[in-house]
Amino acid sequence: MSDVPENMGGRLAANFRRANLAEGLAIQMFRPFAAVAPVPREEDHGVDLICTLLKKHGNVLSAENSFLVQVKTSSAANFGFHGEGVDWLKQLKLPYFPVIFDLEAATLRLYSLDKWRFVIFSSVIRNYNFTLEPDGLHDFPLSKPLMTWSLSDCVHPDFPRWAYSVLKPTLTHEEEAQQTARTARFRTLEGRDYRFADRGADGAAESPPNSGQVFQHVTFDEGTIYRRLEDALGPFARWISNRPMQQEGDDVRLLALRDAFRCLDFDPDQHNEWEEIAAEMRSDEG
């Protein structure tokens, strides 16, 4: 009987219950502006909520960008990624946001990891702990939140519009930045700690977030670069052939572009589909 854990049978760790309470309240505080799907605890591998931003059109709500949320209490605000967890973070298709719930103030703070994207993708570090008060070798500061709101803010009629005005440009940026980071191209997110009380006369945030400076990091990950080129050049060839203002000789220039890439040991047209595209362009000219 000595092997039976002491907390079995009518007992639950107090910090575990606080975490459940924080997550439950966070769900309700996202619902004014997003559809929320809680992740069952047994399936929780770093994500607590899967959310989809909603935009109001009259009496209709339209679903837009989706994103992932991990919720921690302010007393346990550590978001750790180690080994395969770092790989998971790098391959995410949906934006990921750490969120801290202050139970005493009934306030949520949503953070972006954008400032650390360069480090995550460009360094050999395999252990990250994003936290409010870094004091260890693998600790990285969360710094200022992207947006802060309270439970009382959620009932105001302008609140969904304000939240949308902050999150929509942020999500657009995060989606693109996560993709381009794989080719070592980075663009910073410009913004501040947005608060509902600081909204404009129209109910939206003043000077909402936007994509800022672009910088490039040299990478030798050939496979990643080739995949990105394949993803871009195929649609580019089709776009050239279908754009309204085609010019005479565009078919020749398109094939010359393909041949130039081939000379550089990259083939964007392994099945010679561009020959058919060029033929279609010539027939359209005729």
pLDDT for 43 = 59
pLDDT for 4 = 46
261: pLDDT strictly greater than 70: yes
139: pLDDT strictly greater than 70: yes
Q: How confident is the model at residue 164 (pLDDT cuts 50, 70, 90)?
A: very high
- In sequence order, the 6+-apart residues with CB closer than 8 A to the CB of 178 are 92, 93, 95, 117
44: pLDDT strictly greater than 60: no
Q: Per residue in 59-85, pLDDT tens? A: 899 999 999 999 999 888 999 999 999
Q: Per residue in 119-134, pLDDT tens? A: 998 888 899 999 999 9
pLDDT for 136 = 87
Amino acid at residue number 229: L
Q: Average of pLDDT values for 170-196?
A: 92
Q: Average of pLDDT values for 206-210?
A: 95
Q: How confident is the model at residue 285 (pLDDT cuts 50, 70, 90)?
A: low
Q: How confident is the model at residue 1 (pLDDT cuts 50, 70, 90)?
A: very low
Q: End-to-end CA distance of the chain, in Å?
A: 89
Q: Average of pLDDT values for 185-204?
A: 94
Q: How confident is the model at residue 42 (pLDDT cuts 50, 70, 90)?
A: low
How many Å apart are CA 120 and CA 88, to the nearest integer? 11
Half-sphere exposure of 23 (CA within 13 A, CB side): 21
pLDDT for 34 = 97
220: pLDDT strictly greater than 80: no
Q: Average of pLDDT values for 102-115?
A: 94
User: What's the mean per-residue pLDDT of the chain?
Assistant: 88
- In sequence order, the 6+-apart residues with CB closer than 8 A to the CB of 261 are 229, 233, 267, 268
Q: Quick one: how far is CA 45 from the chain centroid? A: 17
Residue owning tokens 């004014």: 32
pLDDT for 80 = 94
pTM (2 d.p.): 0.77
The residue ranking higher by pLDDT, 214 or 176, is 176
9: pLDDT strictly greater than 70: no
Give residue limits of the domains in the chain.
14-218, 224-285
Q: How confident is the model at residue 284 (pLDDT cuts 50, 70, 90)?
A: confident
